[in-house]
Structure 1
């Protein structure tokens, strides 16, 4: 449980934050965050979209502060600050050079109570305007939305600009996957959106992604012989598997159009947050399961694409009965072993019955 204060030129807006809240922080706002919980850490996942500098050069600006964190006021000359505040240098030094405790400081319960005064939350809806007439930045809760998809293998929640208009001009959406232990997300890709994914909970998960660009760069390094071979094969595309183990605070990027699958460990759920950029008109395209894109192909197209009778192709495509969240690799192996054991047991029982007869 947290608290955020957004201070603009016109007003100050204060919001209580709960697990699953999504909030837009406007550019240029002065903000301060507070952990209201005595027993748990207050953790946030942020997406920065700089308005004036390249993303790799993004830096925070601290106005209130001192020596640590350094206040940007200290970069101005003494005469500028004395004239701006109509105050002597000694008093200004006592203000802008006093703080040395760092970016995070201890807060008393009385101070938290005072700073929380007049706070609202995502539970109170999301009005377009604040009580002072400026735009409201009230959060919306992901987990309060109707699940985009849910079954025994996982849950998917989405907040798009339709549910949270403050994301409209950013062209950003936020997704939350809770993948049950041992389960997986069916291979899929986004038609337009690039996903920035962060693991918030769960160890020893993994992801796999198909990428043609890494394969192309590798081929260039391998030299002319490989390129000549590709030309003989009609210039066919080759894909490289990108994979990694996942643990809390691991982040990875899935470019638009790149097929990806994510698997939870057998011991605990894997929970991830995804920021999707360029989300307007984006579609999440699944490549396995009951909503498999390939099932939409005409029978003749299936035969031509796979060089296999359409009936056999459809038999394979229809085997998976789940959608979006599926049993993972180990779960499938365990199920097959269980079925083999059951069939073997039936065979032994049948033989015993024959001998008894």
Structure 2
């Protein structure tokens, strides 16, 4: 066991779930072979003033009318299916890597040894079965569609293993699976087989699994679809107020957004069972950060954050529950730089 004060100042782990960007196509539900890449369209629109106004303006009808009369001109990107298309096709690949027990960088031999013992102990006991099942569920339920999942009439997901000599394909009806419940799918042989392949790759020292994911979403003829939105750092000088992501003029989703959906498996944080406080499953993060809610669900003050668990567990101490170990290993699968400053 490493000494209590022995913590690596340089400590990094490479991510083990590596998605590509996702590419968007338009097609017809009954004729999926005939698909075309979706392009972005630019719109110039005149909106109304709808933001909160100062009290002096709110309470003065004349000032309010003058403010409302101002044109709110915007140029935005949009993306939609063609007039003869009713189905969105999303295509991306996912590489699952092994080697979690080996940091990509660690400058303390004693700490590295104690961490490797802890990681190999987890792998021998749990074999990544629980994490793999949750990752597989997030593929099967098409969580990676984000807003495109809402209001869809049908969603089919095809997951194919491309490893030479071990090719395999699984098909799922995404609407058969909830995005809020991981206690499901235990009687689904396709889901179990996919989870086993993911678990085997994660548990290995240097093997990998290459998955190809094709998802069809019956969204409605000519309906708007939602690629990733680019971050506009300087809205005052930019020509557009909304810029969507594209690759070679083709609408796409960021690999980071797909990865965030796949690692949205944390149901072990303290507020999950509290109906009023729960945000449902959240993405695995060191502090349980959910930026859309402006909240961290795993705070060091409550000793539920990654670093509190990891610093103890990696030195050879046991955690209070296997769920805490699942969480720690899920953060390591996510990857990151976790060294402690020696200043």
Using structure 1 for the length normalisation, give the TM-score.
Answer: 0.19
Larger Rg: 1
Higher relative contact order (CA 8 A, sep 6+): 2
